[in-house]
Amino acid sequence: MTRKFIVGGNFKLNGSQSSLKTLVEGLNQGDLDSNVEIVVSPPFVYLDQVRKAVRKDVAVAGQNCYTKSSGAYTGEVAAEMLKDIGIEWVILGHSERREIFKETDEEIGLKVAHALKAGLKVMACVGEKLEEREADKTTDVVFRQLAAIAKHVSDWTNVVVAYEPVWAIGTGKVATPDQAQEVHKAIRGWLKEKVSAEVAEATRIMYGGSVNGGNAATLAREEDVDGFLVGGASLKPEFVTICNAKAKM
């Protein structure tokens, strides 16, 4: 089967009303590949602004959500709240949530389950740190993170896996196409063994880690690279180039 290429733009803790207005205008005027699914993820306070302004063929994602629908959880945002304002996606398990905010594998699995139940689509992030890669523990780490998610997911239709080697996020270092393909192939193999052959074949696996306009087309050629989760470059005009990387093949 053919998996539809997907590109996500994670704006992280960046942007203002003015800068995001300019960014959205650039996307709206861009000649975007209609065969690519595009999702942008601004900070929570700008979600509604971006959703209302961006072209209809570009979806919008939250950068996180909580495991509860409501209650005394100051500072948290519910998946149901995202859905209520027309948000379609959420990013969960990003390495910055794991590292800075100490989210555990189990907590991320519960978040994924709750978000799916609320009707959101999920970009579920996995990835190893530099010392783990150097210790040849990449698949150990990634499979552990996947298992914590899979434990809580019965239907993978609305789950996209984002492989983000932590050592390549915001560092300018990029996994070579061979390195990315090796891990993506291993993830697909794990899904086949632990979930089902059908899920393994259908699930899209994104690569994230210093993707830019210069390296996107090369990475997109790899058989098991089904898209990108883009950080810093999603705030620049080159994001359009990245969205069109598959068309350059």
Residue 224: which pLDDT band, with cuts at 50, 70 and 90? very high
Judged by average pLDDT, the poorest of 117-131, 145-159, 168-182, 211-225 is 168-182
Q: How far is it, in rounded angstroms, from Cα 89 to Cα 7?
A: 12
Q: How far is it, in rounded angstroms, from Cα 2 to Cα 54?
A: 27
Average pLDDT for residues 119-147, to the nearest whole number?
96
Contacts of 232 (CB under 8 A, 6+ apart): 170, 210
Query: Residue 99 has what DSSP assignment?
Result: H
Structure tokens at 20: 């995001």
Comparing CA positions, the residue from 80, 172, 186, 102 lying closest to residue 141 is 186
- Residue 163, strand partner residues: 126, 207
Q: How far is it, in rounded angstroms, from Cα 7 to Cα 61?
A: 12
**Which domains does the chain possess?**
6-248 (3.20.20.70)
Q: How far is it, in rounded angstroms, from Cα 37 to Cα 32?
A: 10
Task: Tell me the pLDDT tens digit for each residue of 144-198.
Answer: 999 999 999 999 999 999 999 998 877 777 789 999 999 999 999 999 999 999 9
Task: Tell me the pLDDT tens digit for each residue of 230-245.
Answer: 999 999 999 999 999 9
The residue written with tokens 């089902």 in the block is: 196
What beta strand segments (E) does the chain contain? 6-10, 37-41, 58-62, 89-92, 121-126, 159-163, 205-207, 227-230
Active site (catalytic) residues:
94, 164
- Residue 189 CA: distances (Å) to CA of 184, 198, 242: 9, 11, 27
Amino acid occupying residue 164 = E
| pLDDT for 249 | 60
pTM metric for this prediction: 0.96
| pLDDT for 173 | 78
